[in-house]
Amino acid sequence: MSELYENRELSWLRFNQRVLEEAEDKRNPLCERLTFMSIYQTNLDEFFMVRVGSIHDQMLLEDDPRENKTNMTASEQLVAIRERVRELGKRKDESYHKLMKEVEKKGIHVVMYSDLDEKEKAFVQGFFQREIQPLLSPFTISKKRPFPFIKNKEICATAILETKGGKSRVGIVPCSNGMFSRLIEIPGSKGKFMLAEELILHFLPDIFSGYNIATKSLVRVTRNADIDADKVYDEELNYRDHMAEVIKQRRKLEPVRLEYTRDVDKKIIKRVMNFFNIDKEMVFNTDAPLDMSFLFDIEDMLRHDKTLFYDKRIPQKSPEIDESLPIIPQVLEKDRFLSYPYENIRPFLTMLHEAANDPNVVSIKMTLYRLAKQSKVVEALVEAAENGKDVDVLVELKARFDEENNIEWSRTLEDAGCHVIYGLDGLKVHSKLCLITMKRGKDVEYVTQIGTGNYNEKTARLYTDLCLMTGNQSIGAEAARVFNALSLGEVMKRTEHLLVAPKCLQNKVIDKIAREIQIAKDGGEGYIGVKINSLTDKKIIDKLIEASQAGVKIEMVIRGICCLHPGVKGKTDNIRIISIVGRFLEHSRIYIFGKGEREEMFIGSADFMTRNTVRRVEVATPLYDKDIRDRVRSFFQLQMSDNVKARELKKDGSYDYVKHTKPEIDSQSIFYEEAYKAAGMNETSEN
């Protein structure tokens, strides 16, 4: 059965390869390709911090455990990961240098010291001595001088230092303290720059003037970030303070990867590797800069040339919502629907502010996972609390890498008089759920919002997500039960309308797949359509395989990880899976079961990953409004027809671009064109 499954980690690396392909794709404007190159690197950093760190931890806790799909042991996974990362690393280096040649044609050159003429060398030497060297903190390592703490992803210049007596030691200089620019402009030659770490590396003889530099390199360590906040819970602290301590601990976790530049004497790498206690197999050489974030600075320098960027696109007004009128009555009249980033998030924000000021509104309840740095959602909730509304907010402090932001927002909400809770023991609350409760006379009335994406105005312009605002009172009553359970530290054990993990989502999805299997066995047309970010849940995967064998047609849009191989004869040949990686990050989740009158359709926050289906609180809502279902079905079908940015998953786990035919169907571009047309705008107009 192994031919049917893909290892989760290797599938993720295939996804990041698709990101790298976007950096290589000359159909994308040059500066957008630079962005994809930077995203490739930051993705890989997080992969090592979280996934590779997790596998290391598994090996410490168990005797080389096996994963449940390909039966690979943890050590086998690490071997496969290393081999694949090295392959991709070579490709990334080549792609970077090709990109920089194109950047040079636009008048920007990132050079090495050896590329400078004598006048320029004199300048950088003076600049280094005046502006950089006084701000550095160099170290030499000996018995009395232990290896300094090196921050996660910090670039350091390192060298083997030899004394006149023949002894050697390691010298190390952290290169990024935030007090000088990473890109240093060379005067007299417009558009010529040098990276600060390269300058520091060159002048190591000046820094360690009492030594001979035997060999030198730039190095960068990636630390494990996989820390279980619940397992290290300190009962002496309140939960928010505990999470602040967890963040501090994470910064000091063990390194899991060492990267270095140049083909250097292996002595220096071995010494540094030993200091960090990193296995030699987790050491990677690169011919490109260790940190690609400076590429965004280059983009800013080229901002004047609009041809180097995507055409400007602005979220449009929804034709279904009259923004000149109050939003809440419109939602009570008929379900309203928004599709980001094609449509503006503004109606939802307006609805929150209306609720904050509506005398009929008794309470607002909301789950918050990731928020913008300047959150208008929080502004509305604070406004509501200050107006005397009951505001109950579940802030998930375990939203990885957003913990500090969420901690600060939780304090802001508490200070305003909101009731803030922090989730459930052992479960992250990942749902996107908002409930507005009104009282008119003796009647209680609900307005509910359920979405696929975070309450983040910034990502609503970058991620594709869906938002339902409904006055359906049955959905509202069930959402109220979800919040009651959360406030009591419990989970939903039974639902009628909503799919609510961890107890009422995976099982219900499997039941709905089983229904399609029976339909197909009875001679009917079984159908399943799914759009998610990742598929790893083996119970759902196995049920999909069973459905394919029964003749159920299955169409799936899966942007990232996919542990199922489609197209295996007699087993998964009724399954077609595509991945769309393009200008906007595909983030919406859609589940469709059946066709025609028996069609059921849901949108929600959960991918079909075990972490979502059984280890998180997730909520998916049915779409009962026919117009909205028609719209979402059309949306899904257009994505399945994409022949520009879609790549099809093959039975061996590889991806190929969908065979290009006329007309071109770039689903993301078409969705924006439709949004502009529906709003009565041309594509250069703002609203």
Which residues form the catalytic set?
A: 430
Euclidean distance between CA atoms 223 and 296, whole angstroms: 24
CA triple 276-281-283, angle to 5 deg = 55
Name the one residue in this structure whose structure tokens are 């869906």. Answer: 466
DSSP symbol at 132: I
Per the CB < 8 A criterion, the answer to whether 615 and 427 are in contact is yes
> Which of 513-549 are b and which e, b meaning 16 or more Cβ less than 10 Å from the residue's Cβ?
bebbbebbeeebebbbbbbbbbbbbebbbbbbbebbe
Q: How far apart are CA 489 and CA 425, in angstroms?
A: 8
d(CA 568, CA 584): 31
| Cα distance between residue 71 and residue 6, in whole Å | 10
Q: What is the CA radius of gyration of the chain?
A: 27
Omega within 30 of 0 (cis) for the link into 663: yes
474 contacts: CB under 8 Å, gap ≥ 6 = 496, 497
Side-chain-side CA neighbours of 529 within 13 Å: the count stands at: 20
The phi and psi torsions of 657 (rounded to 5 degrees) equal -55, 140
DSSP 556-624: EEE-S-B-B----TTTTTTEEEEEE-SSSEE---EEEE-SGGG-EEEEES--BSHHHHTSEEEEEEE--
Are 36 and 23 contacting, i.e. CB atoms less than 8 angstroms apart?
A: yes
Positive or negative: CA dihedral 586, 327, 495, 391: positive
Three-state DSSP state, 296:
helix
- Report the distance separating Cα 368 and Cα 373, nearest Å: 13
Beta bridge partners of 558: 532
Q: Is the dihedral of CA 288, 291, 297, 299 positive or negative?
A: positive
What separation, in Å, do the N-terminal and C-terminal C-alpha atoms of the chain show? 54
Q: Are 557 and 530 in contact (CB under 8 A)?
A: yes
Please state, in angstroms and rounded to a whole number, the distance separating the CA atoms of residues 229 and 227: 6
The residue type found at 676 is Y
Residue spans of alpha helices (H) in 164-236: 196-202, 204-207
For residues 302 and 307, what is the distance between their CA atoms, to the nearest angstrom?
10
Q: Output DSSP code: residue 151.
A: -
CB 9 within 8 A of CB 56: no
Q: Which amino acid is at 339?
A: S
- Whether cis (ω within 30° of 0) applies to the bond prior to 341 is yes
